[in-house]
Structure 1
Amino acid sequence: MPLAKLPRSARLSVRSYATTGSRSLGTLSATAKAKAEKISQEWKGTSATGGNTKNFVGGEFVESKADKWIDVVDPATQTLLTRVPETTSSEFEQAVSAASQAYKTWSRTSVLTRQRFVMDLQYQLRQHGDAIASSIVLEQGKTYADAQGDLLRGLQVVETAAGIPSALLGQTIEVSKDMDTSTRRLPLGVCASVAPFNFPAMIPLWTIPVALATGNTLVLKPSERDPGAAMIIAELCQKAGLPEGVLNVVHGTIPTVNAICDHPAIKAISFVGGDRAGKHIYERGRATGKRVQANLGAKNHAVLMPDANKNHALNSIIGAAFGAAGQRCMAISVAVLVGNAQSWIPELVERAQKLKVSQGFEKGADLGPVISPAAKQRITGLIASAEEEGGVVVLDGRGYQVSDYPDGNWVGPTVIEATTTMRCYRHVFPLLPMCDRTDRRPTYSEEIFGPVLIVLKADTLDDALAIINENRYGNGTAIFTQSGATARKFEREVEVGQVGINVPIPVPLPMFSWSGNKASFLGDVPFYGRHGIDFYTQNKTTTALWKAEDAIGNKASVDMPTHH
């Protein structure tokens, strides 16, 4: 929302931040400062005390010669932590060249050697989990416990990838006398991964172990907003024995992403992030013949039935809506209250009010700041739009203050009673003149991506299903009920790829595969699990004929030939 259209109170708040939220004002707490200094001292590729983040190319942490740098600041204080380079074209070419060269040997390395690397990486990640989690708290703003969860969910993918020998088993059958047909899974070549800001450890770990265990090499571009976790993981890969050039890390924004999409040596791209970037990467990458898997936006609904276990349902919704300050692609951003469950709103608000918002190292913090001042302004603008359109903000997180951190990007838990026609929820049509809008189908839904829960009301389960199914996104959904028949009907009829029954965030464990659908995913093959192996491999089928009578050492026949 343009600044001029915000309510006066919101305009004053934004302007105050713009004039007083200077980075020079921010000072880290004693705990955060100690963590930052330790990261800067112990890790080669990143800094948390104002130094530069390096590229990782050919097994070396290299200072970029970029002429454009991006400041990474602590969202709780605006303190400068590090500067990220806009990688130059020559530096990017060096990274791809290193990956191409390494592929020649890494792809021929035995699967047991690659398995050993994954197992050693798992050990390194567990040994140095504090450094990764601390970097996430400083750069992204999560609480320390949530940052540990970020790492641990990625670690589960690493541990699953340790079973790579079984995952790469081929098939053989004798199709005719002395003739066999066999299949093998072979790597693609140089692959690329573009990661988002909201999971700076988990998403790189969705791709690194699977891509490398299958014999590919990888160019990783972390988010320019919080690259520290990825740089620590890269160094841990090195400690785990990964040969130089197998993993390379480059930084930047649109130019670096475009270089990934365009480079002919890169065979596949994995992306997690927003709609606009994801569609751009999918279309541009596919235009150059690459495989692309792209996880995009979401609008995740939870249905609360009147027969649900109220205590469990309310606690689940609060955790899923407000954890990580709502900055999860699987966050529950919409609660659909059916029938008598609508009377639970006051208790929902009461529980949400008890959440503690603070810097991530502070004791008892439930959620931290949002990632940037721009994100805060966008979120508060959407809250204001609900008021303008007749919604009821029953819990207002705007203007939230944390006394020890006056410059933080704070938005408190917010609950809005709304309808599906309001901007905070609704589908948005193409920006065309009204007379030209012959196609009234929606193009996208507004994703708040903050600690804001939209509450909708429905009379029946069928009404709730209609609301969800009319939404174009299909990442995740949940239902809370004690009726098996209700749960079964919901699971069968809801048009969403990942369904939770009394489970608020139904992200599958990595022995399964990511299954978000509809407009939440672009591509043919999803992330991790069996499908992750499919994405990073190609099948080769060989048919061979070796006639038994041609075997060396056969006894000569002296019988009259009959040609039978």
Structure 2
Amino acid sequence: MKNVTHWIGGGPVEGSGRTSEIFDPATGEVSGRVHLASVAEVDAVVAAAVAAWPAWRDASLVKRSQVLFRFRELMYAHRDELARLISQEHGKVHSDALGEVARGLEVVEFACGIPHLLKGGFSEGVSTRVDSYSIRQPLGVVAGITPFNFPAMVPMWMFPIAIACGNAFVLKPSEKDPSASLLMARLWTEAGLPDGVFGVVQGDKVAVDRLLEHPDVRAVSFVGSTPIARYVYETATAHGKRVQALGGAKNHMLVLPDADLDLVADAAVSAGFGSAGERCMAISVVLAVNPVGDDLVDKIVSRVSELTVGPGDDPASQMGPLVTGVHRDKVASYLDVGVLEGAKLVVDGRLTPVLGGATAQESPG
């Protein structure tokens, strides 16, 4: 049974007692526990960040970029290990998880160029005896609150830039798949990042609320559902923080009559079922312009029938399980809603055979 802790001051720290279970999404079995922070633990990780920030802020841009380069190399060397953790806790297949890590690494690589990106500007004589200049300075301690569907990529959208710019960063990942956060924290330490500059606080609403209200947290970045994004924005701005709050989204596809329907069907199925559909790139609505609608449906049905569904860490799987049984039941209920509203059900994924002999509906994951 894995024991997922916080990461405070450069090392793992257990919580004060509250924990939550971590599930294997393929079987529904408990695979570990994650500590849920109290206000005291959030205060501790922020205090460590506050203490570490001044020296990191004053470090030269070359020093910061050197740490970023080392972190990038370590992340690349451990990408398979990180992808396995994602598959085990989120459920997405290994190739999807590797793609997630690769997309995150693109931001790390971008942050390695921070000496050029932080250049200011100077304009002489913009008016009589008036010059104008601009400089870029770090804020201090900033926080990221990230979702379950991309436990590595979404945090890597945030912390490489924040840290490279001279801030200290506190990550609050999803409690559903928290292990990736600790691996990334360990690799930051191995890369030479000073203790406290990157911290991880595991938790639920208690941790989120304390980060949103904490007087030493200067800015918050969030990715998640639209209602929670609104809550994060309203709460954090009321406490004087800069906020980036990204809510839910799904893509739509418009298919014109001259489209290559084989290509369209492949794209729609790959988008809709990749990462088990738990991503903004999952195309949830396909609108076909007559007369290609029926032909496209037939091709999508054929393409779906070729999918191999099974555990995310099984090399034969093309689609893994949804992250929890509760989430699976919620998604499955949409089929009944669609039929009640007049839709024709042409593929029932609840009856799909799963590697191991069960069906998607019977599988406990």
Relative to the length of structure 1, the TM-score reads: 0.62
CA offset at residue 330 of structure 1?
2.0
The C-alpha deviation readout for 1:490-548, integer Å capped at 9, x for no partner, is xxxxxxxxxxxxxxxxxxxxxxxxxxxxxxxxxxxxxxxxxxxxxxxxxxxxxxxxxxx
> Does residue 307 of structure 2 align to residue 355 of structure 1?
yes
Q: Provide the secondary structure at the position in 2 that maps to 1:371.
A: coil
1:103 aligned to 21, 45, 53, which one?
53
The C-alpha deviation readout for 1:55-82, integer Å capped at 9, x for no partner, is 101112112122x211001100123222
What letter matches 1:65 in structure 2? S
Give the 3 Å change call, closer, same or farther, for CA 393–350 of structure 1 in structure 2. same
Greater mean alpha carbon deviation, residues 311-320 or residues 150-159: 311-320
Separation (CA, whole Å) in 1 of partners of 2:314 and 2:90: 15
**Alignment match, 1:51:** 2
> Does residue 210 of structure 2 align to residue 243 of structure 1?
no
Q: Provide the secondary structure at the position in 1 that maps to 2:59.
A: coil
Separation (CA, whole Å) in 2 of partners of 1:75 and 1:179: 63
1:402 aligned to 340, 354, 359, which one?
354
CA offset at residue 389 of structure 1?
1.8
**Alignment match, 1:28:** none
Give the 3 Å change call, closer, same or farther, for CA 385–178 of structure 1 in structure 2. closer
> Does residue 287 of structure 2 align to residue 336 of structure 1?
yes
Identity of paired residues, percent?
38
Separation (CA, whole Å) in 2 of partners of 1:400 and 1:295: 33
The C-alpha deviation readout for 1:414-458, integer Å capped at 9, x for no partner, is xxxxxxxxxxxxxxxxxxxxxxxxxxxxxxxxxxxxxxxxxxxxx
CA offset at residue 238 of structure 1?
0.7
**Alignment match, 1:113:** 63
1:174 aligned to 100, 121, 124, which one?
124
**Alignment match, 1:366:** 318
**Alignment match, 1:16:** none
CA offset at residue 372 of structure 1?
0.6
Separation (CA, whole Å) in 2 of partners of 1:410 and 1:168: 54
> Does residue 332 of structure 2 align to residue 380 of structure 1?
yes
Question: Is the 8 Å Cα contact of residues 77 and 408 (structure 1) preserved in structure 2?
Answer: no
Separation (CA, whole Å) in 2 of partners of 1:255 and 1:409: 34
Give the 3 Å change call, closer, same or farther, for CA 180–231 of structure 1 in structure 2. same
The C-alpha deviation readout for 1:222-261, integer Å capped at 9, x for no partner, is 1000011111011011111100010010011111100011
2:241 aligned to 275, 290, 298, which one?
290
**Alignment match, 2:253:** 302
CA offset at residue 89 of structure 1?
1.4
Separation (CA, whole Å) in 2 of partners of 1:197 and 1:399: 26
What letter matches 2:214 in structure 1? H
Question: Is the 8 Å Cα contact of residues 22 and 32 (structure 2) preserved in structure 1?
Answer: yes
Separation (CA, whole Å) in 1 of partners of 2:193 and 2:362: 40
1:266 aligned to 210, 217, 228, which one?
217
CA offset at residue 331 of structure 1?
1.2
**Alignment match, 1:220:** 171
| Runs of 4+ displaced beyond 3 Å | 176-181, 405-411
Give the 3 Å change call, closer, same or farther, for CA 106–410 of structure 1 in structure 2. farther
Separation (CA, whole Å) in 2 of partners of 1:259 and 1:130: 34
Question: Is the 8 Å Cα contact of residues 308 and 319 (structure 2) preserved in structure 1?
Answer: yes
**Alignment match, 1:254:** 205
> Does residue 152 of structure 2 align to residue 152 of structure 1?
no
CA offset at residue 311 of structure 1?
2.1
The C-alpha deviation readout for 1:265-309, integer Å capped at 9, x for no partner, is 111111111112211111101111111111111232101111112
The C-alpha deviation readout for 1:476-499, integer Å capped at 9, x for no partner, is xxxxxxxxxxxxxxxxxxxxxxxx
Question: Is the 8 Å Cα contact of residues 250 and 279 (structure 2) preserved in structure 1?
Answer: no
Structure 1 unpaired stretches of 5+ = 1-49, 412-564
Question: Is the 8 Å Cα contact of residues 368 and 410 (structure 1) preserved in structure 2?
Answer: no
How many residues matched? 361
Task: Give the helix-richer structure, 1 or 2.
Answer: 2
Q: Provide the secondary structure at the position in 2 that maps to 1:395.
A: coil
Relative contact order (alpha carbons < 8 A, sep ≥ 6): 1 or 2 greater?
2
Q: Considering only CA atoms, is the larger Rg found in Structure 1 or Structure 2?
A: 1
